[in-house]
Structure 1
Amino acid sequence: MIIHVVQPGETVDSISEHYNIPAYRLVLENGIINPDNLAIGQTIVIVQPEILYTVQAGDTLESIAVQYGITPMELLRNNPYISDREVLHIGETIVISYQTDRTKTIATSGYIFPHIEKSVLKKTLPFLSYLAIFNYRATSEGEIICNADDTELIQIAKDYGVAPMMFVSTITEEGIVSREVTYDILSDPSVRDLLIYNALDIMRTKGFYGINIYAETITYENINAFSEYLEKAAAIFHAEGYRVVITITPVINIDTPNMIFDKIDYSKLSQFADAIMFSSYEWARSYSYPSLIFPVNVLKRLLDYSLSIIPSEKLFLGITTLGYDWTLPYVPGATEATAITYDNAVQIAAKNGIPIQYDEAAQAAYFYYENIDGTLHIVWTKDARSFDARISLVEEFNLQGVSIWTVMRFDAQMWLIVNTQYYIEKVMGIDR
């Protein structure tokens, strides 16, 4: 795998000629939305195919997979653009395998909201081991509110060999974590017990594989209470064969250029959970200092600390796909950032003729631009180099896998990198 950084004067055709890969494949595999106007500094992932196949009359995904001794899931990972189609097109070329040296199998988890587009979901599921459905809110009384019907999503996940996980949080309808609800739950054993049995009832009824408990508000003060709650919950859930996962947002000082995190003793939780996912979810952080959320240098410090108290095989690395666009000058507590995808960032840079820069320490892309009214902006985002740097940490630190916030849109470059570095575990009976 090569990550090509677009240079001045380069086009899709010139890059295609240089690497001897058809231009249309570069566009397909990378999800390039600006093929006629590349941005300087934009990344393009180059992976040479090992075996190609031209579709014949009567071919199906299953028949081609049998012919080459692979699974339909592998074909869909190598050709995600065919995932939402009913039929293959006669004469089209599909990738049977890429030239890779992958040897390690990892687990992957992705978070969705119930309103995800089905076409995006079906493109993404071949790359996932677990699917966390962000749809359940705990109350101070121990009740669980379901926001939308997710029955179809659960079944689609299972059809693709992906384990659906019930994601429970104390996040309000406005998208804010309620510390009051968390306190009420942890301080009252009867509320904790009711919450546990309500969750168990939902998992039984809907056919979930397990539960993913969102624990953003873990502090030095409540870690013991949360550990007691988790110990009882895990004993009950495990007794019925359910997987128990904790998603933690580390407490980080984000109002300064040098991020620091609280060194909380998460080992108390790892005794009871099957996996711990460290992630930084940014909807509540749009007023933070302009920088990439969780740069790699900070992430490595967090992993070094975490692995001193948590077995590496229990840890998932959280990766966020969004970047942010800030207006300048930055005023702490007042300057609000706008969430932005990498594709959006590339379009802004290409439209304004601005080169995308790269910060090696943070492993993140950034650039400045002026709006039409003359307002200065700075954009921080993740490109293919950013994803590669983070995904490589899974092998470097021998982690269980990665969890992606969110998979509400299909990120072709990110999944191409994952697919060429690792085999993906399928826990629901469909192998790799």
Structure 2
Amino acid sequence: MIIHVVQPGETIYSISEYYKIPVERLILENGITNPDNLAIGQTIVIVQPETLYTVQAGDTLESIAEQHGVSPMELLRNNPYLSDREFLYTGETIVINYQTNKLRTIATSGYTFSYIDKSVLIKTLPFLSYLTIFNYRATSEGEIISIADDVEVIQLAKTYGVAPMMFVSTITEEGTIIREVTHNILNNPTVQDRLINNVLQMMKTKGYYGVNMYIEDITSDNINNIVEYIKKASAIFHSEGYRVLVTTTPVMNINGPIVSFEKLDYSQLSGYVDGILFASYDWARFYSYPSSIFPVNVLRELLDYVVSIMPPEIFILGITTLGYDWPLPYVPGATGATAIANNNAIQIAADNNIPIQFNEAAQSPYFYYIDIDGILHLVWFNDARSFDARVRLVAEYDLQGLSLWTIMRFDTQMWFIINTLYYIEKPYASNYLQ
């Protein structure tokens, strides 16, 4: 795999000619939305196909897979645009496999809301092991505010061999964490028992594979209470055959451009759950200083610490798929960022003829631009280089896998990189497309 960084004067056609890959395939494999106006500093992933096949009349995905000794699921990962189709077209060329040297098999998990565009979900499911459906909200009395329209998503996940996970938190529809509710749950055994039973019954009713419990604001003062609660819940869920994950957000200290994390003894949780996921989805939500989303240098510090206190295979690395756009000047406590899709960030750079910069320590791209109102903006986002650097940490540290916040948009280039580097575990038995 080569990550090509667009240089001044280069076009999609010159890059195509240099690597001997058709323009159409470069666009498809990278999800390029600005092929006629590439941004300087934009990245394009180059992976040479090993086997190509020209579709014949009467071919189906299943027949082509059987002919070449691969699974239909693998064909969908290598040609995700086929998920948008009802039929194959005679004469079109598809990739059977690529010239890759995959590192290992990993588990992948994606967060979604139940109202996700079904075409996006279907395109994403071949790449997933687990689908975490957001958000069953716990109340201070231990009741559950249910998601009414998740049944179709659950069944669709299972069709593609993906295990649906029930996400339980105290996060409101507006994205606010009610800490009083969390405190009441952690300090009231009766409420805990009621909540655990309600979660168990909901998993049985809806057909979930397991539960992903979000624990916010872990501190040295409350970690013992959290551990006891997770221990009790996990014992009950495991006895019923359910998988148990815990998601938490590391306590980050962002002092200007300096980012660090608070070291807590997360190992106390590792003996009771099947995976601990560190998320960063709320990175810019609370008016934080403009910075890369979970810089790689900080991630390495976190991973070095985590694997020193607990088995690395329990750890699931969270990756944020979005970028953030900050208006400047930054005013602490007042300036908030807007979430932005990576392709939209690239389009802004291309439209304004602004070269994309790259921070080596953070392994993240960024640029400044001025909007139509004359306001200066700073954009930090993700490209092939930043995804590659983060995804490779799973193999380097021997972690269980990756979790993506969110999969509401399909990031073609990100999944191309993951598919190039790893085999995807499929824990849920399904006879379809396997």
Structure-1-length-normalised TM-score: 0.98
After superposition, the C-alpha distances for 1:349-396 in whole angstroms (9 at most, x for unaligned) are 000000000000000000111111221111111110000000000010
SS in 1 for 2:280: coil
Q: Kindly report which structure 2 residues correspond to 1:31-430, keeping only aligned pairs within 5 A, or say none.
A: 31-282=31-282, 285-429=285-429
Q: CA RMSD in A?
A: 1.1
Structure 1 residues 286, 38: CA separation in 2 closer, same or farther (over 3 Å shift)? Answer: farther
After superposition, the C-alpha distances for 1:229-261 in whole angstroms (9 at most, x for unaligned) are 111111100001100000110011124311121
Separation in structure 2 between the aligned mates of residue 229 and residue 284 of structure 1, nearest angstrom = 29
Amino acid at match of 2:423: Y
Separation in structure 2 between the aligned mates of residue 256 and residue 232 of structure 1, nearest angstrom = 40
Identity within the alignment, %:
70
Point out the more displaced range, 121-130 or 210-219.
210-219
Paired residues of 2:103 and 2:395 also in contact (CA < 8 A): no
Paired residues of 1:286 and 1:338 also in contact (CA < 8 A): no
Paired residues of 2:356 and 2:367 also in contact (CA < 8 A): yes
Shift of residue 286, structure 1, vs aligned partner: 4.7
Paired residues of 1:135 and 1:148 also in contact (CA < 8 A): no
Paired residues of 2:284 and 2:337 also in contact (CA < 8 A): no
Paired residues of 1:175 and 1:283 also in contact (CA < 8 A): no
After superposition, the C-alpha distances for 1:280-326 in whole angstroms (9 at most, x for unaligned) are 11276251101112100000000111111121111111000111111
Structure 1 residues 137, 114: CA separation in 2 closer, same or farther (over 3 Å shift)? Answer: same
Separation in structure 2 between the aligned mates of residue 138 and residue 182 of structure 1, nearest angstrom = 9
Amino acid at match of 1:281: Y
Separation in structure 1 between the aligned mates of residue 353 and residue 180 of structure 2, nearest angstrom = 48
* Counterpart in the other structure of 1:23: 23
Point out the more displaced range, 266-275 or 255-264.
255-264
SS in 1 for 2:152: helix
SS in 2 for 1:259: strand
Return 5+ residue gaps in structure 1 as ranges: none
Paired residues of 1:358 and 1:365 also in contact (CA < 8 A): yes
SS in 2 for 1:282: coil
After superposition, the C-alpha distances for 1:189-236 in whole angstroms (9 at most, x for unaligned) are 000010000000001111110000011221111111111011111110
Separation in structure 2 between the aligned mates of residue 122 and residue 244 of structure 1, nearest angstrom = 25
Paired residues of 1:246 and 1:273 also in contact (CA < 8 A): yes
SS in 1 for 2:418: helix
Paired residues of 1:282 and 1:293 also in contact (CA < 8 A): no
SS in 1 for 2:308: coil
Give yes or no for the alignment of 1:6 onto 2:6.
Answer: yes
Structure 1 residues 284, 191: CA separation in 2 closer, same or farther (over 3 Å shift)? Answer: farther
Structure-2-length-normalised TM-score: 0.98
Separation in structure 2 between the aligned mates of residue 304 and residue 4 of structure 1, nearest angstrom = 30
SS in 2 for 1:402: strand
Separation in structure 1 between the aligned mates of residue 208 and residue 336 of structure 2, nearest angstrom = 37
Paired residues of 2:284 and 2:336 also in contact (CA < 8 A): no
Separation in structure 1 between the aligned mates of residue 128 and residue 294 of structure 2, nearest angstrom = 23
SS in 2 for 1:194: helix
